[in-house]
Amino acid sequence: MSDLVKMEGITDLTKIGAELISQGAEAKTFKLNYFGMECIIKERFVKTYRHPTLDSKISNKRILQEIRSLNKCKKNGIDVPGLLFVDIVQTRIMMEFVNGITVKQFLYNNCENNYQNTQTPEIIRICREIGQQVCKIHDLNLIHGDLTTSNILLRTSTNNSTVFIDFGLSYTSTLAEDKAVDLYVLERAFISTHPNSESLFNEILQSYKDSSKNSPSVINRLDQVRLRGRKKLAFG
């Protein structure tokens, strides 16, 4: 019975037709058609300069954080990719492929480097939706941990509605401080990737503010976080 199945697994996903679409610092992301379904496989890899068991422990922790946060969002009606298959040992997450583009790409395509003069109703709607969804995530006491314009996708089939991805650095917290730092990360990402986009970020903040009774304390905190400035992010 034990020799009924063959034990070998695919280690190099490109051998079964997967396409490498992104290589981050700690993970490779592939696109693959699996049984007729477009999928994303995100695979964390072992960093050779770290201790191997320590490294796989860190990878395991990340992958658990990532899937638990995705699951929590999914259950609470925040649009995130649905999970299809998780392999903790091989540090692989298979999830639904979202057909669309990143917010980053969308802004590049639509703003031509001048974010002040190109506030189309569509861009404003997207910013307001981002604020509202981030607020919903925070109301679940979930901190995304890496809010950037590449980690928010716009789903084509639902007229560019937002889909949040990349929860590998997420964690749970009830603290206004942690939520404020999350917003601050997003603000820095916005302004460094999209110069002069302050007014767009203000749209995000305004709708964040309008979306929950918990928002005022977070926004107050954000002012303090900004004052402490980059130090906290760089060294904290």
Partner 1 sequence: MKSYDIPLYPGNSLTIILYQNVSNTDEIMSKLLKGELEYSIINCKAIFDHRQLLFAATKVLSIQHSSKLSTHNVHSELIYLLSPTTNMKDSIKKFGLQADDKQFYIAIFNSTSEKLNDIKSLVKGDQVEEQYNEQSKTIENTSYFSRDTAIENYSLKEYKDIAQCDDSKLKSYIFNSMSMKGLLK
Ligand X SMILES: Nc1ncnc2c1ncn2[C@@H]1O[C@H](COP(=O)(O)OP(=O)(O)OP(=O)(O)O)[C@@H](O)[C@H]1O
Q: Which residues are catalytic?
A: 146
Whole-number minimum distance, CB 169 to ligand X, in Å?
8
Among 20, 21, 54, 175, binds ligand X (CB under 6 A): 21
Cβ 99 to ligand X, closest distance in Å?
7
Query: Rounded CA gap, 169 and 148, in Å?
Result: 12
Interactions with partner 1, residue window 27-56 (CB under 8 A): 34-37
Contact with ligand X (CB under 6 A) among 133, 149, 151, 160: 151
Q: Does 74 bind partner 1 (CB under 8 A)?
A: yes
Q: Which stretch binds partner 1 (CB under 8 A): 51-59, 82-90, 186-194, 217-225?
A: 82-90
For the bound state, the minimum distance from the C-beta of residue 53 to ligand X, rounded and expressed in Å, comes to: 22
- Does residue 25 bind partner 1 (CB under 8 A)? no
How many residues in the chain?
236
How many Å apart are CA 95 and CA 59, to the nearest integer?
A: 17
Residue 118 CB, shortest distance to partner 1, in Å, is: 34
Contact (CB, 8 A) for 97 and 38: yes
Q: Which amino acid is at 64?
A: L
Q: Which of 75, 117, 235, 236 binds partner 1 (CB under 8 A)?
A: 75
The rounded distance, in Å, linking the Cα atoms of 205 and 181 is 13
107: exposed, middle or buried (Cβ count in 10 Å: 0-12, 13-18, 19+): buried
- Between CA 14 and CA 31 the distance in angstroms is 9
3-class DSSP state of 33: strand
Binding flags for Mg ion, 150-179, as an x/- string (CB under 5 A)? -x--------------x-------------
CA–CA separation, 181 and 203 (whole Å): 18
Distances (CA, A) of 171 to 12, 94, 146: 30, 21, 11
Contact 130, 162 (CB under 8 A): yes
Minimum distance of Mg ion from residue 151's CB (angstroms): 5
In this complex, which beta carbon is closest to partner 1, that of residue 13 or of residue 124? Answer: 13
CA pair distance 96, 94, nearest whole angstrom: 7
Q: Which amino acid is at 132?
A: Q
Assess 22 for contact with ligand X (CB under 6 A).
yes
Nearest residue to Mg ion, by Cβ distance, number only? 166
Q: Which residues bind partner 1 (CB under 8 A)?
A: 1, 4-10, 16-17, 34-37, 64, 67-68, 71, 74-77, 82-90, 94, 96
Q: Which residues bind Mg ion (CB under 5 A)?
A: 151, 166
